[in-house]
């Protein structure tokens, strides 16, 4: 018999009453796959567990009481001050690998795991979490009243409700000592201010990217590598800040996804130099990297033409130019795009945009317009010469 315990942080933990199985859900981007879980305990089995908190916060704790903890267990851990509530995200031999990745030494003074969370602890934790949104909105008003150039983006309460971490972003240094006093007096808690960057704020708040999917930094990305315009240059993208920037105002992290494949493909490309033919010089414009094409512009008899060449033909012309040999034209044979089906015909392009218009209806509309114009002109002439019109009426009466 199993039961589901609703985790206030948005995760659902399925736990067996006999403690023989416990698995946490995969809704957190900080989830770690424990591929060493089936190994038996050894003398070097670590007594350290990894505990996950709200969103991106995750820390290591020492299991001093030798509790039998598994992934998904909700535990009470040491706080500063008091205690905090979190979810066990990793145990076993993989902890050592994770500590090495995070550059945490084994001699570090870890905080302690007190106990598995009781019903009272979870209830208190739930009450604290329910107040986070309200406290965030009120703290924003307080910062605005104090005229502080900062934005409070998120609030995280400690498990026992005695402390709260206020995450904020600011372009300049902010003196928030008065704000801390106001917050402590208003909410009767211990206040900790923690500054984050715009990328971290986007990861905590979340949103939908221009691709139509959830932001990478809020769904699965946990570590941020530096992104530069060099990645855009390798992919032959236009350096337009509005298109390259994400919702955080920084360069999109997804620019790093395909850079390696572009760099490998560009190794087969020749240098971007001008090509000389008998008609003139061909100037390099752009490259289609994955198709293996390079585009050049040629000015012949005051007419500029754009030509796409395979890289093999470009290399051939460069070698001929080195020997002072200038070919008659850029292309020996007409280039055919291999991605286009052989039996494809551009039927729509050969027709006119007005092919669906009815010519008879058009002629009728023209006749109606001309008749309406003539009637308007008649009425206007009558209004301009009322005397002549009255004479005509009288003559008609006499007759």
Query: In this structure, what token pair is assigned to residue 191?
Result: 């206040």
CATH of domain 131-196: 3.30.300
Q: Is the pTM of this model over 0.95?
A: no
* Contact indicator for 123, 116 with CB cutoff of 8 Å: no
* Contact indicator for 72, 13 with CB cutoff of 8 Å: yes
The Cα-based distances of 74 to 7, 13, 114, 156, 180 in angstroms read 8, 9, 11, 17, 31
Among 2, 147, 135, smallest CA distance to 72 is for: 2
Among 131, 135, 186, smallest CA distance to 159 is for: 131
Any idea what DSSP says for residue 205? Answer: H
Interhelix angle for 132-145 vs 177-187, to 10°? 140
Task: Say if residue 81 is preceded by a cis peptide, omega within 30 of 0.
Answer: yes
Among 145, 142, 190, 136, smallest CA distance to 167 is for: 136
* First CA to last CA distance, the chain: 113
Each residue's pLDDT, cut to its tens digit, for the chain (399 residues) gives 333 344 556 454 444 333 333 333 445 566 677 777 777 766 667 788 999 888 778 899 999 888 888 888 899 999 888 899 999 988 888 888 888 888 888 788 899 999 999 999 999 999 999 999 999 999 999 999 999 999 998 899 999 899 999 999 998 889 999 999 999 999 999 999 999 888 888 877 778 888 888 888 877 777 777 888 899 988 888 888 888 888 888 888 888 888 999 999 999 999 988 998 887 888 898 888 988 999 998 876 667 778 889 999 999 999 999 999 888 888 765 444 444 444 545 555 455 545 555 556 666 666 676 776 677 666 655 555 555 555 555 555 554
* Domain extents in the chain: 2-118, 131-196, 201-264, 269-338
Task: Tell me how far apart the alpha carbons of residues 117 and 74 are, in angstroms, rounded to a whole number.
Answer: 6
Torsion of CA 335, 336, 339, 345, to 10 degrees: 140
């Amino acid at each position: 018999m199993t039961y589901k315990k609703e985790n206030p942080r948005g995760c659902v933990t399925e736990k067996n009453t006999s403690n023989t199985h416990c698995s946490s859900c995969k809704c957190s981007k900080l989830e770690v796959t424990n591929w060493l879980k089936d190994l038996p305990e050894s003398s070097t089995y670590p007594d350290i567990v990894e505990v996950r908190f709200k969103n991106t916060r995750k820390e290591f704790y020492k299991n001093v009481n030798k509790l039998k903890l598994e992934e998904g267990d909700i535990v009470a851990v040491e706080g500063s001050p008091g205690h905090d509530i979190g979810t066990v995200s990793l145990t076993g031999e993989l902890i050592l690998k994770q500590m090495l990745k995070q550059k945490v030494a084994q001699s570090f003074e870890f905080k302690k795991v007190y106990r598995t969370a009781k019903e009272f602890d979870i209830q208190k934790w739930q009450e604290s979490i329910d107040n986070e949104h309200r406290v965030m909105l009120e703290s924003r008003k307080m910062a605005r009243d104090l005229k502080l150039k900062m934005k409070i983006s998120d609030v995280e309460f400690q498990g026992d409700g005695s402390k709260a971490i206020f995450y904020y972003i600011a372009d300049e240094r902010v003196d928030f000592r008065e704000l801390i006093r106001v917050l402590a007096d208003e909410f009767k808690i211990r206040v900790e201010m923690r500054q984050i960057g715009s990328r971290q704020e986007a990861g905590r708040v979340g949103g939908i990217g221009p691709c139509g999917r959830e932001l990478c930094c809020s769904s699965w990305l946990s570590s941020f590598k530096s992104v530069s315009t060099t990645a855009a240059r390798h992919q032959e993208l236009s350096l337009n800040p509005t298109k390259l920037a994400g919702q955080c105002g920084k360069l999109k992290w997804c620019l790093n996804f395909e850079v390696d494949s572009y760099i490998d493909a560009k190794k087969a490309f020749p240098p971007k130099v001008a090509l000389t033919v008998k008609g003139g010089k061909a100037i390099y414009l752009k490259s289609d990297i994955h198709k293996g094409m390079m585009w050049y512009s040629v000015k012949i008899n005051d007419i500029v033409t754009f030509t796409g060449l395979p890289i093999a033909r470009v290399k051939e012309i460069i070698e001929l130019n080195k020997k002072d040999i200038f070919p008659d034209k850029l292309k020996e044979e007409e280039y055919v795009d291999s991605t286009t089906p052989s039996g494809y015909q551009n039927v729509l392009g050969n027709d006119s945009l007005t092919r669906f218009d009815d010519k008879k209806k058009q002629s009728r509309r023209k006749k109606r317009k001309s008749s309406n114009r003539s009637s308007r002109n008649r009425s206007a002439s009558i209004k301009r010469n009322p005397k002549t019109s009255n004479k005509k009426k009288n003559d008609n009466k006499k007759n």
